[in-house]
Amino acid sequence: MVTTLEYGAFLKTKMALNPSAGVEVALDAIHPALYPFQRQLVQWALRKGRCALFADTGLGKTLMQLEWARLTDERCLVLAPLAVAQQTIREAERVGLALSYAKTQADAKSTGITITNYERMDAFDISAFGAVVLDESSILKSEDGKTRGKLIEVCQRVKYRLACTATPAPNDIAEFANHAEFLGVATRQEMLSMFFVHDDEGWRMKGHAIEPFYRWMATWAMLLKRPSDIGFEDDGFILPPLNIMPRLVSGDAVALAQAQGQLMPMGLKGIAGRSAARKATLSQKIEQAAQLLNASKQQWVVWHVTNDEGYELVKVVSDAVLVEGADSLDDKVDRINAFIEGKARVLVTKTKIAGFGLNLQRCHNMLFLGLTDSWESYYQAIRRCWRFGQTQPVNVQIVLSDLEQPILENVMRKEQQANEISGAMVAQVSQYERAELGMLNVSKNGYHETTQRGKDWTLMLGDCVERLRDVPDASVDLSVFSPPFMSLYVYSNSERDMGNSKSEQEFFGHFGYLIKELLRVTKPGRIVACHVSQVGATLNHDGFIGIKDFRGKTIQALIDGGFIFQGEVCIDKDPQAQAIRTHSKALLFVQLKKDASWLRPGLADYILVFRAPGENAEAIHPDINNDEWIEWARPIWYGIRESDTLNVAEGRTEQDERHICALQLGTIERCIRLWSNKGETVLSPFAGIGSEGYEAVKLERRFIGIELKPEYFETACRNLERATQSKTQLALPLAP
């Protein structure tokens, strides 16, 4: 018999989605120049070995990644955005760390830490390094799939990996998926299949997957906007005021309409309309921007959108330096450094060139010469100056035409949404991050047990493997049940839920614990009737579209567990109803006309019949006649109505991704009448809303049921009580 400790250890393996693969380092071994929260994060990152630090701008990612690189004791390559490498070298000098810049592999140090720019990545053999740091790892969500794909591919052979960026866009699934894949935690396909579902609105997180997703993410990423998010004081990390000042210049709406081929103004229409409005008001915006810049003696960063805007602006602002895409890499670095060192007063560039990673906090004035609809570009650009460590209020002027006001409104709306989602996300993940850091104990899904009893039934709330241990040996006459079919986070978020298994191997490993308990409680020679159906394979989860033989694997699992396979019944199903419910292309009329190679028959249900070893001590005398036996002895059961179930809506919660798959009452009735006598005990370890118990009580048997989910347990109790009342009413004598 499996012990509690053994089963408990198995449950822990289901939760351990990303085990540590790094090195243990004491806190006092980390440089004292780091704040306490930074040392805690570095210690955690070293222990994990492959992880991400999603820490907001100004929280010290540079020092943290340098300490991580030093303490891995591996040859390390840091990849950084344009001009960030020079800033990182200066930060390294603060803590007495030797850091060298290299343009090619030949220049790289044979030991210690080397830094280069992403633009020079092709000149390096990254597999020659034992550790890699991605500074501003948001490059992993770049639209340039070639760069992203190459980073993920070449770094898979690197032992230690650290990805660092400011807090990612909270609703950007791709950003989390790409980071997880880079770190070797999970592929995009694996992450989506575990936690997300695709419907008419696109990808969204499964209702019951919210808590497991954040618990999983905390095993490989630390997300924080301030030190207090992980339990530390915010002293020294309070942002200064941010002043956003839109300045609208007049545009000719009629002229714009005519340029777009319209008879009258219809507002901005797509990219073409935005481009036309930007071009039509170029001179007015340049004039407004020049007035602001020339009237000031302070430093400014100017973000422009089109090349013409940059060219025209530097003509009228004499002490401005323009950094554009056509410049050589060295020229870009030199001009940006000139601004950082105070040798240039106004930096004019695009967000895609200098909007990520750079620390420009010596400047506190910023100007957007027009806007795009990208909130992230806007946010990242502002955070170059508005960051922890900035001592002045940051003033942001947004110069655009009144024709472009819808763009500003769109960006502001996205910002409000992002702030709301990001705040909720940090709050969700914070408790798991603190647990990962060893600063908080997190309860495991609020698991608890209780028992309710009626006249002929007992219902136990809890884990079926553990609650079955309360059932005496050889005390059950018949078991009828339908196990979960390997569907992650469809009905609950508990690791005790067998459906929450990441693979067939994990599911049948979990199922094996139950089978051993079933064998113990079943009387010799008596029957276990297990209801199954085949499981569809999906491209997202399995890499192919087809069928997985869940039926065959279930048969083998019970045989391996000591039962004797006695037979099976196929239950006829309506393929048209199945097509409507599942939308499977394999059953659709359109596929019949398009390509019949994808067509297959509808999926039947099965009752798999197993017998416990040994001789049956009490003969079973079914209360059925010969005609019924002729019908029920057929290999296929016809006449089972698919809608003949208890009311599934009663037990369903808002987070459930599917309706409860209650077993048809007609199927249960046949099993109970065939393989048990009146007064005997029927068991269901997956009681759900009580379907097996409802029929057992009505058919004058005793019932023992176990259910993990409290909502289903409560519904099952009500259904069992109704069955008791129904039987009592039928037994009452008729009035004279």
604-640 per-position pLDDT tens digit: 899 999 999 999 999 999 989 999 999 999 999 998 9
- Provide the β-strand partners of residue 300: 346
Is residue 354 within 8 A of residue 380, CB to CB? The reply is no
Specify whether the CB–CB gap between 164 and 136 falls below 8 A: yes
Do residues 518 and 468 lie in contact, with contact meaning Cβ atoms separated by under 8 Å?
yes
Amino acid letter at 102? A
Confidence of residue 700 (pLDDT cuts 50, 70, 90): very high
Which of 71-75, 534-538, 652-656 is predicted least confidently? 652-656
Between residues 385 and 537, which one has the greater pLDDT?
A: 385
Q: What is the mean pLDDT of residues 717-734?
A: 78
Amino acid 431: pLDDT: 86
Q: Average pLDDT, stretch 495-513?
A: 92
- The conformation of residue 656, written as its DSSP 8-state character, comes to -
3-class SS of residue 94: helix
CA-CA distance, 689 to 278, in Å (whole number)? 61
Give me the residues paired with residue 571 across strands. 605, 637
- Does residue 144 surpass a pLDDT of 80? no
Which residues have CB under 8 Å from 28's CB, separation 6+? none
pLDDT tens-digit series, residues 393-445: 999 999 998 888 889 999 999 888 888 878 888 888 888 888 888 876 665 55
Q: Supply the DSSP symbol for 140.
A: G
Residue 2's pLDDT is what?
40
Distance CA 45, CA 229 (A): 17
d(CA 146, CA 86): 26
Backbone angles phi, psi at 249, to 5 degrees: -105, 155
22-64 tens-digit pLDDT: 999 999 999 999 999 999 999 999 999 999 999 998 999 999 9
Query: How many H-runs (helices) and E-runs (strands) does the chain carry?
Result: 26, 26
Question: Quick check: 151 and 77 in contact, CB under 8 A?
Answer: no
User: 1 falls in which pLDDT band (50, 70, 90)?
Assistant: very low
What is the Cα–Cα distance from 467 to 241, expressed in whole angstroms?
Answer: 58
Residue positions counted in the chain? 736
Buried b (16+ CB within 10 A) or exposed e, 94-115: eeebebebbeebeebeeebbbb
Give CA–CA dist 404/411, Å, rounded: 11
pLDDT band at 731 (very low <50, low <70, confident <90, very high): low
- Between vectors from CA 124 to CA 120 and to CA 128, what angle results, nearest 5°? 150
d(CA 485, CA 93): 57
pLDDT band of 451, cuts 50, 70, 90: very high
What gap in Å lies between CA 449 and CA 160, rounded to an integer? 43
Using the predicted structure, report yes or no on whether residue 559 has a pLDDT greater than 90: yes
pLDDT, residue 170, reads 62
With a cut of 80, say whether residue 149 has pLDDT above it: yes
Model confidence at 733: pLDDT above 60? no
pLDDT band at 658 (very low <50, low <70, confident <90, very high): low
Contacts of 359 (CB under 8 A, 6+ apart): 87, 384, 387, 389
Q: Please state, in angstroms and rounded to a whole number, the distance separating the CA atoms of residues 603 and 579.
A: 10
Torsion of CA 399, 403, 404, 409, to 10 degrees: 100
Domains, the chain, ordered by start: 50-175 (3.40.50.300), 242-417 (3.40.50.300), 450-729 (3.40.50.150)
Q: Which helix (H) or strand (E) holds 704?
A: strand 702-707
Average pLDDT over residues 223-238: 92
Residue 329: φ, ψ to 5°: -60, -45
Contacts of residue 467, Cβ cutoff 8 Å, sequence gap at least 6: 449, 460, 461, 706
Predicted structure pTM score? 0.79
Over range 696-719, report the average pLDDT: 96
Confidence of residue 204 (pLDDT cuts 50, 70, 90): confident
State the Cα–Cα distance between residues 336 and 323, nearest whole angstrom. 7
Q: Are strands 76-80 and 113-117 parallel, antiparallel or unpaired?
A: parallel
Q: What is the mean pLDDT of residues 118-132?
A: 94
Average pLDDT, the chain: 88
CB 685 within 8 A of CB 468: yes
User: What is the Cα–Cα distance from 120 to 79, expressed in whole angstroms?
Assistant: 9
Are the C-beta atoms of residues 154 and 117 closer than 8 Å to each other? no
Q: Is residue 694 pLDDT above 70, yes or no?
A: yes
Rounded percentage of the chain residues whose pLDDT exceeds 70: 91
Look at residue 343 in the predicted model and tell me its pLDDT: 94
Question: How far is it, in rounded angstroms, from Cα 270 to Cα 732?
Answer: 75
